[in-house]
């Protein structure tokens, strides 16, 4: 419950505070958001599996975001930033899909 309220507060703050994203962060923010989403869906799945651990969630959240940003940064340095960020998004998308499928099985038993 508190988690959902936190999410709402974050979204509202993002909408009404109108933050400006620093230029240096602009290429990494979308990838970071997708990576964090992956971590969140993984956490929800763990919750339904009854193995949720807040320490694991926090670590996976930050490591996901950092690794995704790192890969994109490395890609930018190597001149393949566009392709690498596409690859990261694809991988994270697949993981999100499989996590959501597991969640769906728990919720709808189907």
Partner 1 sequence: MSNDAKRRSAQLVVAVLLALLGFAAAAQIRLTHQDGSYAGQRREDLIELLDSLAAAAERTQKQIDELERTRSDLLSSSERREAAVEAAKEQLAVLGILAGTLPAEGPGVTVTITDPRGAVTAASILNGVEELRDAGAEAIEINDRARVVASTAFVERDGVVLIDGHEIRPPYVLDAIGSSHTLSEAVIFPGGLADEVSRLGGEVAVKEAAVVEVGSLHPVDPPEYAQPTDD
How big is the site for partner 1, counted in residues (CB under 8 A)? 36
Stretch that binds partner 1, among 29-37, 91-99, 100-108 (CB under 8 A): 29-37
Residues in 84-103 at the binding interface with partner 1, rule: CB under 8 A: none
Is there binding between residue 78 and partner 1 (CB under 8 A)?
Answer: no
Task: With CA atoms as reference, report the closest residue to 67 among 87, 50, 48, 82.
Answer: 87
> Segment near partner 1 (CB under 8 A), from 23-31, 92-100, 101-109?
23-31
**Which residue in 32, 89, 91, 102 binds partner 1 (CB under 8 A)?**
32
- The b-or-e profile of 61-95 (16+ CB within 10 A means b, else e) is beebbeebbebbeebeeeeebeebbeebbeebeeb
> Cα–Cα distances in Å, from 66 out to 13, 27, 49?
23, 13, 26
Q: Tell me how far, at minimum, the Cβ of 107 lies from partner 1, in Å.
A: 19
């Amino acid at each position: 419950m508190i988690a959902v309220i936190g999410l709402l507060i974050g979204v509202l703050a993002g909408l009404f505070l109108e933050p400006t994203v620093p230029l240096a962060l602009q290429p990494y923010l979308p990838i970071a958001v997708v990576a964090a989403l992956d971590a969140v869906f993984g956490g929800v799945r763990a919750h339904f599996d009854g193995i949720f651990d807040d320490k694991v969630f926090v670590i996976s959240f930050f490591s996901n975001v950092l690794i995704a940003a790192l890969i994109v940064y490395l890609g930018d340095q190597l001149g393949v930033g566009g392709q690498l960020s596409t690859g990261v998004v694809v991988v994270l998308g697949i993981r999100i899909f499989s996590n959501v499928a597991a969640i769906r099985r728990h919720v709808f038993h189907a």
